[in-house]
Each structure stands twice: as C-alpha cells, then as structure tokens.
Structure 1
Amino acid sequence: MSTSPTSFRTLDDLDPDQRVLVRLDLNSPIEGGEPQDNRRFDRHAETVRELADAGHRVVLLAHQGRPGRDDFVSLSGHASILASHVGRDVGFVPDTYGDAAIEAIESLDTGEILLLENTRMCEDELPEGDPESKAETEFVRALAPHFDAYVNDAYSAAHRSHASLVGFPLVLPAYAGRVMQTEYEANTAIAERSFDGRVTMVVGGTKATDVIDVMDAFGDRVDDFLLGGIAGELFLRAAGHPVGFDVDPDADLFDTQWEQNRGLIEELLEERGSQITLAVDLAYEDDESERAEVDVDAIGEKDVSFLDVGGDTAERYAEVVHESEAVFVKGALGVFEDERFSVGTVRVLEAIAETDCFSVVGGGDTSRAIGLYGLDEADFDHVSIAGGAYIRALTGQPLAGVEALKRE
C-alpha cells in the first residue's frame, strides 16, 4: 500500500512563539439555546492544545448555524465546552474584529487561548466568494495584521469558500491543523492510495444522490459496493423489486431522488452490476412495534417503510468486509438510532473492527453509531467528523479551504 504526502504545510512546519489565528468547526446541535458537546470539540482540542502547549498565543475562529435559523447563536457557550477538552482556560470575547477583539488579541500571553465571536455574525463571512475577494474584506484586513500565522483545522467546513476559510491564507503564512491533516489524508485515501487487496465501500443514508455520485466517481477503484438506506432501495427498484418509493404521501425520501438519479442508477447496474451487492432482505416495524424481516424476493408490494437491511444481508456484508483490505463507509444501512434497526449498520462496523483492514467511517451521523453501540473508535483508522467535505473528497471535487492552504 503506497501513500502520497500532503501538499500543504502542517503544524510541524510552524515557527515557535507565534500569534496564531486558528479556524475550527465547532458547529453543534443547539438545545435550549446552548451548544451540545460532541466529537468536534474533542477532535479540535488536539490542535488547540498542541499550539498552546508549544507557547503560541492562540486565537480561535468558528461558526455556529446560519443567519435566520434557530441554531444561529453566540459562541459564548462553546468556549467552556472546548476548555474542558483542551484542559486549559479558553477566553471568549463577543466580538470578531472590532476594537474589543483586537484589544483581547493583543493582550494574550504565551500559551493563552481566546475564542472570538461567531464568524457568521460578520457580513463579510458570507456568502461564498473567490479567495482574492475574501482576502480584501474588512474582516480579513482588520484581523490579519495582528497575527504571524493562520491555521485551518476546519476540514468539515473546507468545502465552503468563506472569508475565514479562504481569505486569510492569501495574506498570512498558512498551515493545516491536525484535524485538517488527518481528515484530508484519510478521506482522499481512496483516490491517492493503491491497495493490493479488495476495496469495499459501504453506502447508505438518506441522501441517495450523494452516494450515487460517489459510486459513479469511484467505480474503477472499488471492488464491492454494499448498499443500504435510501440508495439501497432505489437500486432494488431499478433491479425490478417493488420497493424504493414513498409509502407515506407526505414523505419525500424516495420518489424525487428516483426521478433525479434513475438514469445513472440503471447505468451503474448495467455497467458495474458485478461490483454492486444489494440487500436480500429488509427490516420493518410490524403491528406489535417489533422488528420484522422479509426477503426481498417475497415482497409483493411495498406497504410498509423499510428501516434497515435484514439479518442475512448484514451477515453477507460482514463476510465481504472480512475479506477486504480497505473499507470506506458513507452513510448508515438503517435507522441505527433505533436499536431495533441498528443491525445492519452495527454488524458492518463490528466486522470492520474485527478485520485488519484500512478503514474510514464518515458521512454525517454515521460515525455516532460507534459510540452509541459501545464500539472502540481505536479499531478504525479514521472516523470522520465531516459531512459535505467528505462527500466532495470522495467524488474528487476540490475543497476551497484545502486549495487555499496549498497556495504559496
């Protein structure tokens, strides 16, 4: 198995005693107006702690929500959560680049950490724009002169061309933080590494269009696609089974995505059918609110919602995983948040953990199943915290934030 090096500078290249501006992604669920702790705080704490322990003056940028939405709140609550993960105090100032922010930045001592206010409260942050125009915004021009270096650790936001992500690398020496570095290396592995053995991709979740695009992009690099979720049913529909459409007339999970992707699904089945493994049974909730399963070939018409792949399918998928050298996961095989319908997702994750393979688990909430069902994250090579950026990486699309780091 061969690897290619990253093409941007990392924390290993950073000179000592710097005042560093660090972009994180602390975007979190908000309940009762307060941010909820999650994996992102723990991951980013590694970068923040390393910088503070090295004696740098560390100033943090992050966003939360979008203007007009309920989760668009101040970052004041994020500072204490981050501090608990870093093991150091994290100061907060309710300003981003005004006088209060500049005064707080200039007063920092070595090893101290400061979180600035929500970047999306700045008019210059949104909407997306080219790096050159973002570098000329008042936001960037006001902050940049107070720093020696810029570190982007926000891989999960790197598909956005916002001022805090693409503007600063044009006016400051730019580096990748540890999250950015590890996410980039793992999520581009399917394109940049060569594997001697079997490469498997597990695709599921509710956003069928995303995973279908991934299948189309990497059909020549993947030996086996194991399908579940919405995409799995749509492929079964294309194969002639009476599934893959909405039972509830008020729902819109299947029919729209079928219309959008039917041609590509049928083309993939025809051209790459030998690489695509479909479910042989599906699970649903019966009249007693229990898990029930039915063979795909025995379905006369779809009159229930299927919420997971069946047990036989889960074991077949596990067998493929056990024989693989590399496994990439994009999306859950069922509604794993409900234990009754966690069988497919958990069995595949267990098989990965049992197997000496290179593994990347990502795509929205899928990685949550690892902690939810008592699996050990250490048994996986990489558990991604990225959603949209992970998809773009898998489909070979450039990420604006990454491209900005690569510029000299």
Structure 2
Amino acid sequence: MLEHALSVIPNISRCAKPSKRIIVRIDINSPIKNNKILDDYRLKAHAKTISILSDAGARVVVLAHQGRPGQDDFTSLEIHKNILEKYVNKTILFIEDIIGPYALNKIDNMKDGEILMLENVRMLSEEVVEGPPEKQANTWLVRKLAPHADYFVFDGFAVAHRSQPSVVGFPMVMPSCMGYVMERELTALSEIWRNRKLTLIVVGGAKVPESLRAIKEVLDKGLADKVLVGGLVSVVMASAKSRVGPSVRQFLEGMGLLSEVEKARMLLETYGDFIVLPEDFRSRTGELSLSNLDEVPGDIGNATAAKFAEIINDYEYVVVTGPMGKIEEPDFFAGTRRVLEAASRRKAIIGGGHTILSAEKAGVLDKIFHVSTGGRAFLMALSEELPAVNALVKSAEKFWL
C-alpha cells in the first residue's frame, strides 16, 4: 500500500503553481506549558512545505490544530504563527476565524506568495468527529473552504491516522498533493516495511491505549522482530505481569488506566517472548524491581538501560516512540538518554514531540536516520492503512489519473 501510494499521489511540485489558492493541512500540535511551546520541531519541519508553495507564487491557506476541546493544551494558534513565521522567513497573516465571512473574504483577496493561517480547526466541533471520507466531504469546513481554493496539500502526517474533515474531506472534492513532510514520512515507512525482520520497536511515553494497540498490531502482522517497553506503558505492563503496590494501582486508577492492565495481560500472554519489559526501575526513593513495584517509578533502571542498549545494537533499524521516563525531571532522564544514544548508532527512526525533545537534549538529534513528526502515527502506519493516505489515493485516481 505504501509503495503504491508513493507512486500514485502527486508530490508538492504538482500543486505548487503561481496564483493558485492552496489549502495546506499541517500538524503543529506541540507540547505547551504556560502558553509557551516547549518543542517546535513540527513547526520547523512544515515550514519547508509552506516555503515551497509560497516561493512558487501560490496563495497559501494554512489549516492546523492544537490539543482538543477540554484539554489544557487546547489553545489559539497565534503563538504557533509567530514561530512558523520565523522558520518560513516571511510574514504570515493570522486571523481568528475559520469558515466565517471574514476568513473567506481574506482568502479571496490574497496575493501571490501570501500566507494566511486560520484559527485552530478543532474549534469547529465537527473536526473532532471521525467518519468516512465521503461524509467528511459534506461538513461545513469542507463545503465552506473548498470552493475558495484550487488545490489541497496534505502534510500533517502526525494526524494522518484520523479520519476527520480537514484530513480526509478535502481530497474527496478537489485535486490534492502530499507535502514535503508527508512524502518523507511515507518513504521512511516504506523502507521499514521492506526491512521489517531487521527492525526493533521501542515504545515508551504515557499514551498507553494507543501504544498497546500499536504493539499488538505490529506483532500480529510481524512488522518487527521485538518490542522494548518503557515509560508509563511499562508500568501498566508490569501491573499485568506481577503484583504491584497499592500506590501504583491507585495511580493507574486515577489515570483511568486500570482497564488497560487486562489488555496488557492478554498481550503478554500472546507475545511474551517478543516483548521485553524493564527488569528494574528508578523512583524518588531508589531502585525498584519488576517483581516489587510498590511505588510509581520515574525511569527505567540502570540494568534495564544497559540491556536495552545491548539489544538495540543487534538491529539495523530501530523505531523509538516515547521516552523511557519523566524526562522533564533531570533525575529521570538517564534511561531515555541511554536508549537514544544506542539507537543513534543504528538506522534510527524517532517520532513524537517528547521523543524529539529528548533526542535534542541528549545531543543525538543530528545523528538520527529519520525524525518523524508523528509518534504513534508512525507505528500505526506500519500496522494499518492511514485514512489520509487512502483519501489521497482516491483523490489522485479521481482528479489526476
């Protein structure tokens, strides 16, 4: 599917034409604290696509999101605009509107090479609802914006696993291309697919349901030889494998993750020989073992970090998504550093905002084979078809072929 998609979907050069109005969907969803962006890697990556279009004389309309309604990081994109402007090295006009008369008027009156960023697309309730592409093509977002543009460019790989209007709706009604970031991501995925028996997956971070699902899919389909697990994902798996202290269970209950423990148990029963859990952990009070996890850990232990590094050395390709511990605390960064240093000596593919931030902190980002703008999206793309890719293929068959 990936190689077919790369051969069928036009790349950005097909849409980068003077005077054409182009809607570009990027994913600049970033870690935010106190209304400040902590990691701007995605903004820097997508600046290339926007620059290519603007330099060609196209009139660029940027669509993106930040967080979800009700979450702490759900906010306006104005702070993103300021950073994106720096990397594009051109003025970007930001407006607090998406599909209203003000936005449509601004789009209609753009000049060649101008860049316009619309407000957080998830401020529209329909954008957080998933559905088939044909249905999403009939949403207000698509019906309002599509008539005011000539092409759609999808570059938001990190949101490519969502079947939302801004992802799959536009390709159904207008000629579409893949952006620079999207093309690079699909090319890297295709290489991993061809070399899956030489591939090791390292999963960490705090996105437990998505991670367990991705691990299951990857192992079900034989897309990796082995999976190393750290972060909060490993705490859930440890709870499924052995008894843990009441404080750990209370923590998981408070996080709404007790239901994931049973899923982890079934996963270990089926693929226990292919999943490597930490042997030891590090907490604020000292070292903990897998069989005596009576406190919520902050990192994998030294023995585990050394073991993981040794295993990584045996593989040609290593996909790392998610840190091994609470990287925001200096005392809990050692495990993540050791894993990323080892991975950087192989053909490493890393993804996710916190993983990229960790690689920068560890000083190995420039040694990474491929830095993906999507963490779980990259894993999911290995194991299942992405709605965005399917929509772009359908669009190519309808408008280009």
Q: TM-score band (shorter)?
A: 0.7 to 0.9
Secondary structure of the equivalent of 1:365?
helix
Q: Quote the offset at 1:400 in angstroms.
A: 2.0
Q: In the alignment, which residue of structure 2 is the partner of 1:278?
A: 277
In 1: Cα distance, 2:77 partner to 2:361 partner: 27
1:51, 1:93 → 2: CA distance? 20
Following superposition, the deviation at residue 43 of structure 1 comes to 1.2
1:380 aligns with 2:383: no
Residue in structure 1 matching 2:150, options 148, 157, 173: 148
Q: How far off its partner does 1:256 sit?
A: 3.4
Matched, 1:337 2:328: yes
Name the CA shift for 1:266/1:3 in 2 (closer, same or farther; >3 Å): same
Does the 8 Å CA contact 1:156/1:386 hold for their aligned counterparts? yes
Q: Which amino acid aligns with 2:388?
A: G
Paired amino acid for 2:387: A
Identity %: 37
The Cα offsets for residues 97-146 of structure 1, whole Å up to 9 and x where unpaired, read as 33322222222222111112232333553422322222223432332222
* Structure 1: runs of 5+ lacking an equivalent: 287-291
* Residue number in structure 1 paired with 2:120: 118
Aligned twin of 1:59 = 61
Aligned mates of 1:244, 1:212 — CA distance in 2: 22
TM-score, normalised relative to structure 1: 0.84
Q: Which residue of 2 aligns with 1:289?
A: none
Distance 1:109 1:390, change over 3 A: same
SS in 1 for 2:349: strand
- Kept after mapping to 1: 8 A contact 2:161/2:380: yes
Provide the rounded CA distance (Å) in 1 between the counterparts of 2:128 and 2:289: 49
**Shift of the alpha carbon at 1:33?**
5.3
Deviation at 1:268, TM superposition (A): 1.5
Distance in structure 2 (CA, Å) of the matches to 1:255 and 1:31: 27
Q: CA deviation at 1:381?
A: 1.8
Q: Which runs of 5+ in 2 are unaligned?
A: none
Q: Distance in 2 between matches of 1:317 and 1:29?
A: 27
Q: CA deviation at 1:236?
A: 4.7
Matched residue type, 1:198? L
State the one-letter code of the partner of 2:79: G
Shift of 1:68: 4.5
Separation in 2 of the partners of 1:35 and 1:279? Answer: 31
Alpha-carbon spacing, 1:102–1:217, altered in 2? closer, same or farther (3 Å): closer
| Number of the residue aligned with 2:216 | 216
1:313 maps to a residue whose letter is: T
Is the partner of 1:306 in helix, strand or coil? Answer: coil
Q: Post-superposition shift, 1:8?
A: 1.8
Q: Give the C-alpha shift of residue 318 in structure 1.
A: 1.2
Deviation at 1:149, TM superposition (A): 0.8
Q: Secondary structure at the match of 1:142?
A: helix
Q: Does residue 14 of structure 1 match 2:2?
A: no
Give yes or no for contact 1:322–1:351 (8 Å, CA) kept in 2.
Answer: yes
C-alpha contact 2:92 2:115 (8 A) present in aligned 1? yes
Q: Provide the rounded CA distance (Å) in 2 between the counterparts of 1:340 and 1:100.
A: 50
Higher helix share: 2
Task: Name the counterpart of 1:314.
Answer: 305
Distance in 1 separating the partners of 2:164 and 2:144: 16
Residue 325 in structure 1 maps to residue 326 in structure 2: no
Q: Which moved more, 1:49-58 or 1:15-24?
A: 15-24
TM-score, with normalisation over the residues of structure 2? Answer: 0.86
Q: Which amino acid aligns with 2:107?
A: I
- Structure 1 letter corresponding to 2:278: A
Where does 1:6-155 land on structure 2 (aligned, <5 Å)? 6=6, 7-14=8-15, 16-17=17-18, 18-31=20-33, 38-122=40-124, 124-155=126-157
Deviates more, 1:219-228 or 1:80-89: 219-228
Q: Contact 1:65–1:72 (CA<8 Å) still a contact in 2?
A: yes
Give per-residue Cα distances to partners, 1:16-74, cap 9 Å, x unaligned.
Answer: 22221111223345555566662221111111111111221111112233345554443
Matched, 1:293 2:287: yes
- The answer for the alignment partner of 1:268 in structure 2 is 271
Larger Rg: 1
Aligned residues, how many? Answer: 388
CA drift at 1:295: 5.3
CA distance, structure 2, for counterparts of residue 302 and residue 126 of structure 1: 38
Out of 37-46 and 10-19, give the one that drifted further. 10-19
* Cross-structure match for 2:384: 397
Q: Identify the residue that residue 182 of structure 1 maps to in structure 2.
A: 184
Instruction: Measure, in 2, the Cα distance between the counterparts of 1:231 and 1:245.
Output: 18
Q: CA deviation at 1:187?
A: 4.2
1:214–1:76 CA distance, 2 compared to 1 (3 A) = closer
Once the two structures are superposed, residues 132-176 of structure 1 have per-residue CA deviations (whole angstroms, 9 ceiling, x without a partner) of: 222223432332222221101111122222222222111111011
> SS at 1:110's partner residue?
coil
Change (3 A) 1:282 1:77: closer
C-alpha RMSD of matched pairs (Å) = 2.9
